[in-house]
Amino acid sequence: MVKGIVSGPQELPVRLDPLVDFEDRLVSGTLTHNGIQYSQEVTTAGAGVEMAAFSKLVDPLVEGRILWVELELVAEFRAVSSPTADLTWRWQARNGDGSWLDLHEPVLEANIGTAYVARTRGGCFTPQPDFDSVPCEIRLVISCDEANQGRARVTNRSHARVVYRVI
């Protein structure tokens, strides 16, 4: 990382580090006996209606331009009572109030069943025009082919690491 000393006449020198490495654990809460924590469970409404099952603002309190993002996004899915329900999901991100950008292709979970199944999407993501600055927002979008059947929750294994240049 590049570091510099900035000072002016009659001022104390201040160390300036223009690169920030910030990590946000997306889910937290009361401690549990096994260390696993979950976001609030969300159930789909109408058949085929897409909805946000989880959303988190990643805000390091200092604005900047993203150099790269490392994501580990872990969610669990199931049907409420119909083992033949098909559930579709995908993760999205955006700058502040910008347009949502899909982080991967939609995933179809055919005949999801009534027991939770965990699914992970992760890796390093190169900035895109709609997702290249902090603060930013990350969300999970789901839909189900049967009304009131798709259910999702996000685990505390989910995190976002953002390396960015202060602006």
- Provide the residue-wise pLDDT of the chain in tens; the chain has 167 residues: 445 554 556 666 655 568 999 999 999 999 999 999 999 999 999 999 999 999 999 999 999 999 999 999 999 999 999 999 999 999 999 998 899 999 999 999 999 999 999 999 999 999 999 999 999 999 999 999 999 999 999 999 999 999 999 98
Q: Which two tokens stand for residue 32?
A: 């549990």
Domains in the chain (CATH in brackets) are: 20-166 (2.60.120)
The residue written with tokens 């939770």 in the block is: 116
Q: How far apart are CA 120 and CA 64, in angstroms?
A: 27
